[in-house]
Amino acid sequence: MVIIPAIDIIDGKCVRLTQGDYTHVKRYDAYPLDLALRYQDAGLKHLHVVDLDGAKAGRIVNYKVLEELCTRTTLHIDFGGGLQSDHDLHIAFECGAQQITGGSIAVKNRELFLSWLHQFGGERIILGADARNEKIAISGWQETTELSITDFIADYVQAGIQYCICTDIAKDGMMQGASHDLYIRIMERVPTLRLIASGGVSTMNDLEQCASNNLYGAIIGKALYEGAITLDDLRSFP
């Protein structure tokens, strides 16, 4: 299973939100590049970067940070947050992102998102499926729809999606464990999907459980910032 540390960005700095609430922002001293280089030095290969300013604004904002991360590390970077147009997409790829994650756009403009999928393929376009009470949430988690998360994911798998990052907003930043039951149900529905767990991964046991449920990957955010999971722990993870 792929271990994917997360860097969330506001004003060019590393932050963490609690349950997606922009009024509960915890800012960290580490700069994104410094943190990314630490992850690289520890042997990690992937990085999940979220432009929280962009998610709120509906357009890419922190592209210069993305470019720095892509040009000064060897990490495989997927990027999301505010990608709402072809222009945003091309900026992300030109900055060096290997993959992009589309969440709100997949709900608000299905035709455009499918055009990205057909143009760049399932290897480069990740579906972002963020949910509150198993209903899809969009616009930086500020709006909850009536779309069932399992139906939403299954529909896009039929359309050609190979990768999906699934975040249970209720778990995000809470350090109370991941939504393993939800991930099991998703995998039962679409067993070919490369599903990436996000939100609440806070112990090595969480990672082991994600791996045993045949998930493709797991994103770790606050647990790394707070030391609940250490880079030494990850070095010994199979």
Superfamily of domain 2-235: Aldolase class I (3.20.20.70)
pLDDT of residue 21 exceeding 70, the answer is no
Taking only the tens place, the pLDDT of each residue in 31-88 is 999 999 999 999 999 999 999 999 888 899 999 999 999 999 999 999 998 899 999 9
Mean model confidence pLDDT for the chain: 91
> What is the pTM for the complete model shown?
0.92
Report the residue count for the chain: 238
pLDDT of residue 122 exceeding 90, the answer is yes
Taking only the tens place, the pLDDT of each residue in 76-120 is 999 998 899 999 999 999 999 999 999 889 999 999 999 999 999
Catalytic positions: 8, 130
> How confident is the model at residue 10, as a pLDDT?
92
pLDDT of residue 174 exceeding 70, the answer is no
Residue ranges of the alpha helices (H) in 84-236?
86-95, 104-108, 110-120, 149-159, 180-189, 204-212, 222-226, 231-235
Domain range annotation of the chain: 2-235
> How confident is the model at residue 171, as a pLDDT?
66
Q: Are 24 and 36 in contact (CB under 8 A)?
A: no
Paired strand residues for 80 = 50, 101
Taking phi over 0 as left and psi of -120 to 50 as alpha, with beta for the rest, 226 belongs to alpha
Three-state DSSP class for residue 74: coil
pLDDT of residue 222 exceeding 70, the answer is yes
